Chains A and B, each alone.
Chain A
Amino acid sequence: MRPGVWLAGAAVLAFLLLFLVLPVGRVFITAFLDADGGFTLGHIGTFFDQGLMRESFFNSLYVAVMSALWAALIAVPLAYFTVRFDFRGALLIQTLGVLPLIMPPFVGAVALQLIFGRSGSINLLLGEHLGFTLPIMEGLNGVVFVAAIHYFPFILMNLTVALRNIDGAMEEAALNLGCKGWRLFWRVIFPLAAPGFVAGASLVFVKVFDDLGTPLVMGQTNLLAPQAYLRITQVGLEDPLGYVISVIMIVFSIAAMALSARALKGRDYATLQKGGASIQRRRLTPAAAVAAYAWIGLVLLLVLSPHVGVLLLSFAQVWSYSPLPDALTLAHYATVFQDSTGMIQNTLLYCGLAAGLDVVLGVTIAYLMLRTTLPARQWLDWIATASLAVPGIVLAIGYLRLYKGMVIPGTELLFTGTWVMIMLAYAVRRLPYALRSCVAALQQVHVSLEEAAESVGATQLRTIRRVVVPLMAGGILAGFVTSFITAAVELSATILLTSAESQAPMSYGIYLYMQSVAGRGPGAALGVLAIVVVAVGTYISHRVVERTGQRFAAQAPVGVTVGGKA
């Protein structure tokens, strides 16, 4: 092996150690420390003694499983119809399908309450005209409802890529043998796309299992993530049980992901020829087309309702106990443009850098994993992926503790006082998304292309630069976009790491506005701007991916992917 490989591996490992493993370890140690600093398992024991904790665990499990199921019900038809059929507006639908992911925290929950809540538009109208109301946002099922709407894009994006990569010959063969409709879908297409589906569904499961904001806003405390949060953030009280819960959540999430990876292991999903472009997309019969459009329209209406709510709220003067706002105004946008344009720039800067860092790391890890024999290279992937399960607040406290007092050389500035901390936290938290995209992209580049390049005298570095990276371009861009858009709405680590308002990103600004009566409008307006900025970015990169995809139709993947192992 060349020294460059060792160097690259060491650099990635150093990054992961410094900004993920050590800070998180620094916090987690608290779960195993006695008052005198000695080791104890007593805190772990207390966890299992409590009836409430057992109940919370099973509640979390229930919510995560149900959310994954409902998310699949939303995502599978969207993906199937837009990829395998001649469908007008497929690109638009896929772009809109990503929008729920970029719902800024607080805003989404507030908007959903305004529409589906107990005094939301729907229930007010139902109550007035039909005399009954629906408890959509109540209880654990309310959490499932919101989580499914929020996280189904993970399945949609993965499945889209997986479907596109199925060998068209398989479908043609099935059709020739008289297999049609549901049977074709269930027996041939869905099984071939299973890796993408499982990758997406396991992401949904883990995200929901760890999700804090949704249950808290909906008043559901008896789940693991809220229990951990409530204990870590109680005034003036250091409660080790909060950290114990975090440790247990991490271990469980990693186990869930490992299990899903195992489920796919040992089967071969590869088909020789890749790319849906190789066969003609099928046409729907007129009746089926009407049904499909109606269903997709309904689903889109549902999943975009929070966005409609935010939009209305951002223009609303007063919106209280009525299906629609009393009057509309532009004043909130004026406030935002006057006060907070700096925050938009900050978001673009931090998230851009973080996503850039993520794809650099993602490509490096993917290459080391798939193309070298570096010992323990799989560990880089596992460590990076584990950050999915680390709560933002734990990572942030870890940074503050580990880098306490460290000054940037040559200045008197604290390392923790600069925005670099925020950017690094974003990069670490969103690395798994970019990594999955890069791995999937590299898996689809045939190694013979590199061998060809090296056999005509190109060095390894030159091969990577001129052959591998260009062929991975679609996947890299997809990873960049996913990291970028999800970082743009990160809040939990942001709040703790922001050390000056002038350095604050948009998510912090939205949070800040949403803390006061007069700030709801401007908060929603800033939320709308965040959505627009990110959505435009996503759309543009989709277009770029489509075009790159056409150029490398046979070799490179098309579309956005998260966790796809297609």
Chain B
Amino acid sequence: MQYRPFFRAPSLALMMVATAWLASASHAGTVTVVTSFPKELTQAYKSAFEKANPTIKVEILNKNTVQGIAYVRELPVGQRPDVFWASAPDAFEVLAGQNLLDNVADLANRAVPAKVGNYPINNPKGLYLGQALAGYGLMWNTRYMAANKLPVPAQWADLTKREYFGHVAMSSPSRSGTTHLTVETVLQGEGWDKGWSQMLQIAGNCAAITERSFGVPDGVNNGQFGIGLVIDFFGLAGKYSGFPVEFAYPNVTAVVPANIGLVVGGKNAAEAKKFIAYTVSAEGQELLLDPKISRLPILPPEAMKGKVPAGYPNAFEIAKRAKVSFDSDLSESRYNVVSAMFDQTITFRLKELQAATQAIHAAEAALAKKPNAGAAGLVKQARDLAFSPVVGAGMAGNKDFLAVFTANKKDAAVNKQVTGLEDSWNRHAQANYQRARQLAEQALAAAR
């Protein structure tokens, strides 16, 4: 038989299998690390660890947090990666909830304080360890601010002001664990109703709700956005890499750890433990100070043997100063509700929210020049409509209500109930924003 096209396929397959086998025959002591961290950071740890332990190889697998979880979950025991390393504590809660994490309490560095502010650095159940600290804040592009003559903001509340309309950017809590923490921090710091009102006003001033959390610092770095709500190392790394950006912590912030954990059913648990211990050791912590990485160590500065550069933020000081003591149980209990509310009333309705916010700003600007009691009343109504959460504080504390959002969505009845609620929020928000815009436009007409 000389019919080549048909016969090429099997021989190709054979060849492929053979090369695949050769290509991926892994080293006996290979630690596989699944992480969402950028290459600079992982490369630094890989090189330093391999130098300190010449018999062990580190294989880094970069996936975003969501895909990382899916990847670990879809693999069978014995074939999984060894280490999971990411920012968002909730990702570790998901893994722990599915019994995918081993206890690593004995690997903790004894010199690490128990808490930063009010937040335990290592998981109290010992299922994962804090590896670096992160606070949340504002970063801004100095060129952009100068060109648009914008004042530098200091607090979240500043971002609700008229002059920042269209200059802000943030991500969504359903997309980014760090953004979820930021939103939850504001909600805990200001209270549910006031916090949401502030969030809605900030979002109304946003030019975009980015899909990736990195989209925010990236946009600020290249000048697409003026100000971004970001995790600190995004801002600091941009600044220390030479971009014209600055970063500041507002008073309502929380300092929480990025974590590292040992996956159940990995191939090389013994070597993996060494790697985890290394990342939390004094030596491993020093690597965080590299300008390209710019993360805050879990060790207090005095334990860093004077390696911390002058002016480098001190996580423990920031935590002391911060007004919020982050309650992770509260956050977890309403996790899905906060994400869903944000998406349905902000992310998916951004266009309408922006229009309402812009109209309200315009009316207020006109009123400031020429006061008019009737118009002021209209603007107040518009504000109430546009900037009140669809779910009030009372409802948000209701256990039965929260239970709906933690039930299994594969159940068609549950899914119908949840999506029904989401749909009503979405329509409610859309109608409110449109009404608010009309009222504000009426007020503007009256004030002229």
Contact = CB atoms under 8 A, between A and B. Distances in A.
B355 interface: no
Interface string B1-31: 1111110110010001100110111100000
A443 interface: no
Given A495-B63, A517-B221, A35 B292 contact: no
Interface string B375-415: 00000000000000000000000000000000011111111
Contact of B3 (A4, A119, A416): A4
B233 to A, nearest CB: 9
B348 A222 contact: yes
Contacts of B69: 235-236
B222 A397 contact: no
B348 A221 contact: yes
Interface stretch (A147-155, A175-183, A271-279, A459-467): A459-467
A240 B221 contact: no
A39 B67 CA distance: 27
Contacts of B286: none
A360 B11 CA distance: 13
Contacts of A219: 208-211, 350
Contact of A235 (B23, B74, B88, B411): B88
A519 interface: yes
B3 A464 contact: yes
Contact of A517 (B17, B64, B209, B238): B238
A1 B66 CA distance: 51
A388 interface: no
Nearest to B91: A235
Counting chain B CB atoms within 10 Å of each CB, the highest count among A42, A462, A518 belongs to A518
A237 interface: yes
A118 B237 contact: no
A500 B32 contact: yes
Given A495-B63, A517-B217, A404 B32 contact: no
Contact of B62 (A110, A120, A462, A512): A512
A321 B12 contact: no
A413 interface: yes
A69 B11 CA distance: 44
Given A42-B413, A420-B16, A235 B177 contact: yes
Counting chain B CB atoms within 10 Å of each CB, the highest count among A4, A33, A52 belongs to A52
Given A222-B348, A318-B242, A501 B59 contact: yes
A518 B237 contact: yes
A226 B218 CA distance: 20
Contacts of A171: none
A465 B211 contact: no
A500 B46 CA distance: 14
A60 interface: no
Interface in B84-101: 88, 90-91, 93-94, 97
Interface in B192-228: 207-211, 214-215, 217-219, 221-224
Contacts of A258: none
Interface string A359-372: 01101100000000
A40 B409 CA distance: 13
A240 B415 contact: yes
B38 A221 contact: no
A498 interface: yes
A496 B423 CA distance: 31
B244 interface: yes
A352 to B, nearest CB: 11
Interface string A485-526: 000000000011011111100000000110111111000000
B70 interface: yes
Contact of B9 (A49, A237, A360, A419): A360
A237 B237 contact: no
Given A235-B90, A411-B21, A419-B20, A117 B224 contact: yes
Given A34-B411, A516-B38, A516-B214, A418 B61 contact: no
Contacts of A240: 409-410, 415
Contacts of B1: 461
Contacts of B411: 34-36
A341 interface: no
B241 interface: yes
Interface string B228-266: 000000100110011111000000000000000000000
Given A234-B339, A464-B3, A45 B174 contact: no
A495 B412 contact: no
B79 A519 contact: no
B357 interface: no
A452 B8 CA distance: 27
Contact of B5 (A33, A34, A363): A363
B60 A501 contact: yes
Given A11-B9, A49-B423, A363-B5, A321 B70 contact: no
Contacts of A417: 24, 79
Contact of B71 (A237, A496, A502): A496
Interface in B353-382: none
A28 B76 CA distance: 21
Contacts of B292: 517-518
B53 interface: no
B2 A465 contact: yes
Interface string A101-121: 000000000100110011110
Contacts of A419: 20, 23-24
Interface in A111-151: 113-114, 117-120, 139
Contacts of B234: 517
B65 interface: yes
A49 B420 contact: yes
Contacts of A512: 38-39, 62
B70 A320 contact: no
Interface string A394-409: 0001001100110010
A431 interface: no
Contacts of A237: 336, 409
Contact of B6 (A221, A236, A364, A416): A364
A236 B62 contact: no
Nearest to A216: B211
B75 interface: yes
A413 B224 contact: no
Contacts of A414: 75-76, 79
Contacts of A317: 242
A8 B419 contact: no
A321 B143 contact: yes
A233 interface: yes
A35 B409 CA distance: 8
Nearest to B7: A360
A7 interface: yes
A49 B347 CA distance: 20
A404 B75 contact: yes
Contacts of A461: 1-3
A37 B60 CA distance: 36
A495 B350 CA distance: 29
B39 A50 contact: no
A499 to B, nearest CB: 7
A459 B420 CA distance: 65
Given A50-B422, A321-B223, A357-B9, 20 more contacts: A33-B410, A34-B410, A35-B411, A46-B415, A51-B427, A52-B426, A113-B222, A119-B224, A219-B209, A233-B66, A236-B69, A320-B221, A321-B222, A360-B5, A417-B24, A419-B20, A495-B67, A512-B38, A515-B62, A517-B221
20 contacts: A30-B410, A36-B411, A52-B426, A118-B207, A234-B175, A236-B90, A236-B91, A237-B409, A320-B221, A321-B244, A357-B12, A400-B75, A408-B17, A416-B75, A418-B23, A465-B2, A501-B61, A503-B24, A513-B39, A518-B237
